[in-house]
Amino acid sequence: MEDSMSKEWFQVWFDSPYYPLLYNHRDNTEAIYFLDHLLQHLNPEKESKMLDLACGRGRHSIYLNKSGFDVTGVDLSSQSIKDASEYSSESLRFYEHDMRRLLSTNTYDYVFNLFTSFGYFERNHENQLVVNNMAATVKAGGRIIIDFLNADLIRYVGRIEEHKEVEGVKFTLYKEIRGGRIIKHIEVNDQGKLFHFEERVSLLGKEEFEAYFKRASLKINHVFGDYSLNSFESRKSPRLIYEVSKA
C-alpha cells in the first residue's frame, strides 16, 4: 500500500481532512461571478459538453450544470470526488482521474481548468502533457479556459505569513518563492497533534504558457487578468486567464 512518503504533495494534502477545513470560508460567490462572466463571453450552446479538469469538490461543475450544460468533473483527490458525487445526476458526473493521463479524445466543447489547478508537477514535461491532453480532449472548434495566478505579481510579494483557527484547529501558513515555485507551508495543530503539509505551484508566466500552447497546436484567443475578464496587465492583474482553441 502506498504511504504518504511516496505520494506527491497534492495527493496527501487534497485528501487530508484539513484541506476542506482550511478553505471552508470560500463560498460560491466568486466562482459564480467568474463563471457568469465566462459564460456571457463564450456564449455556449445549451447542453454543450463541458469538462471541469481538477474540479475539486465540484463548485464550478455544479454551477455549470445548473446553467444548463452537460458537465463532467474529474480530480485526483478521491475524497473531493466522493464529496462532489453527492450532486451527480444524468447530466453531471464526477470521476477520480489524473490530468496527466488522457481522459478521452474529441469529446468536449469546453475544457475548464480553474482556480490555479495547474503547475503542480516537479517536471516541466508533465505540464506540457496536461496541455496536450486538454488539446486532445476538446472537440475541433472547442475552447479551453485556464485560470492561473499571475506569476509576475507574485514574484514581488516575498514571504507572507498567516495564522488562523478553524473549529479549534490552528493553522500557520507561510509562503515563499524557491526554485521557480511558490511554496505554501501549512502547519496544523489539532489538539496538540502537529501535521505539516505543502502546496507547490510553478511560477509560470505568459512565456511558459504560450510555449505549451504552441507545442500543442493551440491558438490563443484572449488573455484576461481578472474574474471580470479585464485585459491582462503583468504588474497589476491578480490572475492570468487564457482562452485558447485548436489552431
- Nearest residue to 180 via CA among 211, 200, 147, 202: 202
For 26-51, write each residue's pLDDT tens digit.
Answer: 667 888 999 999 999 999 998 899 99
- Does domain 9-150+204-246 match CATH 1.10.10.10? no
Helix or strand or coil: residue 15?
A: coil
Q: Which three cell numbers mark 94?
A: 464526477
Cα separation, 32 vs 59, in Å, equals: 9
Per-residue pLDDT at 37: 98
Per-residue pLDDT at 170: 96
Per-residue pLDDT at 4: 45
pTM of structure:
0.89
The yes-or-no answer to whether 9-150+204-246 and 154-200 have a common fold is: no
Fold of 154-200: S-adenosyl-L-methionine-dependent methyltransferases (2.20.130)
Taking the CA atoms of residue 109, residue 112, residue 20 and residue 94 in that order, the dihedral angle to the nearest 10 degrees is: 20
Kind of pairing between the strands at 49-53 and 70-75 = parallel
Helix or strand or coil: residue 83?
A: helix
Per-residue pLDDT at 27: 61
Per-residue pLDDT at 197: 96
Taking the CA atoms of residue 73, residue 79, residue 83 and residue 89 in that order, the dihedral angle to the nearest 10 degrees is: 40
Per-residue pLDDT at 190: 97
| Cβ proximity of 200 and 183 under 8 Å | yes
Per-residue pLDDT at 7: 81
For 120-130, write each residue's pLDDT tens digit.
Answer: 988 889 999 99
Angle ∠(232,152,76) on CA atoms, nearest 5:
90
Q: Which three cell numbers mark 40?
A: 456571457
- The strands making up 108-113's β-sheet, listed across from edge to edge, are 92-96, 70-75, 49-53, 108-113, 138-149, 239-246, 218-224
Q: Which three cell numbers mark 194?
A: 502537529
How many angstroms separate the Cα of 29 from the Cα of each of 63, 158, 165? 11, 29, 23
Per-residue pLDDT at 23: 84
Cα separation, 48 vs 64, in Å, equals: 10
Cα separation, 58 vs 71, in Å, equals: 10
Low-confidence ranges of the chain (pLDDT < 70): 1-6, 25-27, 156-159
Cα separation, 51 vs 43, in Å, equals: 16
Domain ranges across the chain: 9-150+204-246, 154-200
